[in-house]
């Protein structure tokens, strides 16, 4: 039996440095001195090392045109954000597993495809059994009576759609016990009669530049509430784990149980 569910976000992968090759590379270009002050997580280090390669600013004197070399990583990253040198943020990526999010939310997320990799549960292959859905907060804003009636209506809809899937499988039981190609085609046909609000799972990988953009536009009070919830969870993880490149976001209470995350500097 399906349920009303809440979206969840899991950080499952991130960019890692190959330390021995980084050292060999920097020694080869006489830049290893910078390792004494390039600090932070691997992602943050990679961004700084890539940025310094643009100007050969690993140490003073390496590039005669550079008169000042920053030796504080926090200041370096802040300057990157201020100057909108966004291209170097594209070197780092994070992968999230998003569960219990509706296909409505998925269709909005996949619009952010620049610098992205996306793998979504395929209902051509995954046979529907339980129908889970997110209960929008808006239903709770007009009194307990309407909230309870809305929940009852949604639960009835869930039961209907689940029964429809079971009835399809009963009707085509002999064919569903047959070869895989037939099962795939029938499973694909059955999915056409599932609700758009069906909860599903998706794995997304975005680079830092795109993540800054996604957080800015998708936690806005003008964005749809479910994607605000999902991207707000992503924002909290990114701010906590990669402060050099995300702690300029101001968390603004929009008085509806959700938050906007507004960058201190103009988005890169």
Q: Is 245 helix (H, G, I), strand (E, B) or coil?
A: helix
Pairing mode of beta strands 4-5, 259-263: unpaired
More confident residue, 171 or 84: 171
pLDDT, one tens digit per residue, over 45-88 is 999 999 999 989 999 999 989 888 999 999 999 999 998 888 99
| pLDDT band with cut points at 50, 70 and 90 for residue 115 | confident
pLDDT, one tens digit per residue, over 237-253 is 999 999 999 999 999 99
Average pLDDT, the chain: 93
pLDDT at 152 exceeding the cut of 70: yes
Q: What's the rounded mean pLDDT across residues 150-170?
A: 95
| pLDDT band with cut points at 50, 70 and 90 for residue 178 | confident
| pLDDT band with cut points at 50, 70 and 90 for residue 268 | very low
Q: Is 35 helix (H, G, I), strand (E, B) or coil?
A: helix
Query: Which domains occur in the chain, in start order?
Result: 1-14+92-268 (3.30.70.3180), 15-90 (no CATH)
Q: What is the pLDDT of residue 1?
A: 67
Tokens for 184?
């795939």
| pLDDT band with cut points at 50, 70 and 90 for residue 266 | low
Q: What's the rounded mean pLDDT across residues 130-137?
A: 93
pLDDT at 147 exceeding the cut of 60: yes
Mean pLDDT is lowest, of 16-25, 118-127, 228-237, for 118-127
Q: What is the DSSP string of 149-210?
A: HHHHHHHHHHHHHHHHHHHHHHHTHHHHTS-HHHHHHHHHHHHTTS-TTBEEEEEEEEEHHH
Q: What's the rounded mean pLDDT across residues 174-201?
A: 92
Q: Is 13 helix (H, G, I), strand (E, B) or coil?
A: strand
Tokens for 211?
């993540």
pLDDT at 2 exceeding the cut of 90: no
Contact criterion met (CB below 8 Å) for 210 and 238: no
- State how far the Cα of 10 lies from the Cα of 8, in Å rounded to an integer: 7
pTM of the model: 0.90
């Amino acid at each position: 039996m399906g349920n009303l569910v809440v979206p969840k976000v899991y950080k499952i992968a991130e960019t890692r440095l190959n330390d021995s090759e980084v050292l060999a590379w920097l020694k080869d270009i006489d830049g290893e001195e910078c390792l004494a002050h390039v600090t932070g997580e691997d992602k943050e280090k990679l961004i700084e090392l890539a940025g310094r390669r643009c100007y050969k600013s690993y140490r003073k004197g390496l590039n005669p045109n550079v008169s000042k070399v920053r030796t504080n990583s926090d200041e370096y990253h802040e300057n990157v954000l201020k100057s909108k040198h966004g291209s170097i943020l594209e070197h780092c990526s994070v992968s999230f597993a998003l569960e219990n999010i509706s296909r409505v939310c998925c269709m909005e997320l996949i619009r952010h495809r620049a610098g992205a990799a996306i793998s979504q549960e395929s209902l051509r292959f995954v046979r529907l059994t339980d129908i889970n859905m997110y209960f929008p907060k808006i239903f709770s804003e007009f009194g307990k009576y309407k909230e309870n009636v809305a929940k009852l209506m949604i639960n009835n809809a869930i039961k209907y759609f689940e029964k429809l899937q079971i009835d399809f499988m009963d009707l085509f039981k002999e064919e569903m016990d047959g070869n895989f190609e037939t099962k795939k085609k029938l499973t694909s046909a059955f999915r056409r009669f599932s609700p758009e609000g069906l909860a599903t799972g998706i794995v997304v990988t975005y680079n830092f530049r795109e993540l800054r953009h996604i957080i800015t536009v998708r936690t806005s009070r003008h964005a749809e509430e479910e994607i605000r919830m999902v991207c707000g969870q992503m924002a909290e993880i990114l701010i906590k784990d990669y402060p050099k490149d995300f702690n300029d976001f101001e968390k603004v209470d929009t008085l509806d149980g959700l938050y906007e995350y507004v960058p201190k500097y103009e988005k890169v």
